[in-house]
Amino acid sequence: MWINPETDDCWRALNPRCKSLKLFSQDRGCYASLQRTGVDIEFSAFPDTRVRYDRVIVNLPRQKALLAMLLDCAADLLAEDGVLWLAGENKAGIKSADKLLKLHFTQIRKVDNARHCSLYEATTRLNQDRFNPLNYRHHWVMDCADSEIQVLSYPGVFANGRLDDGTALLLDTLAKLELKGDVLDFACGAGLIGACIATHHVHTRVTLLDTSALAVRSSKETLEANGLIAGVLASDGLTEVTGSFDLIVSNPPIHVGVKTDNRLGMRLLDSVHKHIRPGGQLIMVANIHLPYENWLSKRFKRFSELAVNENYKVIVAKI
């Protein structure tokens, strides 16, 4: 089992050496790309821990909390004499990963160190506790337009366990508007934007979308916790969206690994105007220094700022 591999051909070198090889990805884009190669790959929030593997490979994620959860899960996937390999870049924190490995294994060694990366091997499981994802779920309450929204989220989901400042400004702005029709919460994370809209704008039909399987699971659980009905869709950007909307709202991602890069948000939103109905609009929040206006001017007739503070701006763009 290889957990969260890159979208490259590294698995081909491993495939002939294995009796069987299964890849697992929590990212819809990675899953779709590797699925096209014909490899056996699963897209889900968590692997099926009823199956055991002789070897489990984990690619180091950006967040330590996500790594802790994945290592707990990976330990439960191993056969009795199984071996875990953890690989990652030094600048992404692989050098300190042995501290988390020691929570689950008694034998840990660095196998290799090259190209500013390291590879750890772990054997002999420390305990036989079964992995339970609910042990890692955050349940918190968010104030939204004089009401409380129950939010459920997992490590690896954007702003896990808290309301980030950009989304807070976006929600304050949306609360002052009259929304109706079909609404898409793009890059929904734990689903708090979509949940707020569904709660306070009764004339809307809301769909939540994210590329992360953990975000999709979080959104479904957030909706259920608040007794809300909305669609939830896993998609890499808008690639799996076939319909159109009266409004698309978004706090687009700006991180690639450990780097900040607004080109990711621009790429994901590249075809957003094709999914907005005539008279519809896009409302998004962005860091104040990011030049989204240059990108919007090529796709929308007009745009303006709805709100701004020292760090963020809310932009509305109309078809």
Domain ranges in the chain are 2-133, 137-318
Cα(110)–Cα(86) distance, integer angstroms: 9
pLDDT tens, position by position, 175-212: 999 999 999 999 999 999 999 999 999 999 999 999 99
From residue 220, alpha-carbon distances to 181, 249, 275 in Å are 21, 18, 23
> How large is the average pLDDT for residues 67-94?
96
CB atoms within 10 A of CB 76: 20
Does the 2-133 domain belong in CATH 3.40.50.150? Answer: yes
- Listed residue (154, 165, 105, 157) closest to 132, CA to CA: 154
The whole-model pTM stands at: 0.94
45-75 pLDDT tens trace? 999 999 999 999 999 998 999 999 999 999 9
Please state which CATH class domain 137-318 belongs to. alpha beta
What was the pLDDT predicted at 134? 97
Spell out the residues 6+ positions from residue 272 whose beta carbon is closer than 8 angstroms to its own.
Answer: 186, 238, 248, 250, 282, 299
pLDDT above 50 for 227: yes
Identical fold, 2-133 and 137-318: yes
Burial, 185: exposed, middle or buried (Cβ in 10 Å; 0-12, 13-18, 19+)? buried
Which of these, 204, 93, 90, lies nearest to 196 by C-alpha position? 204
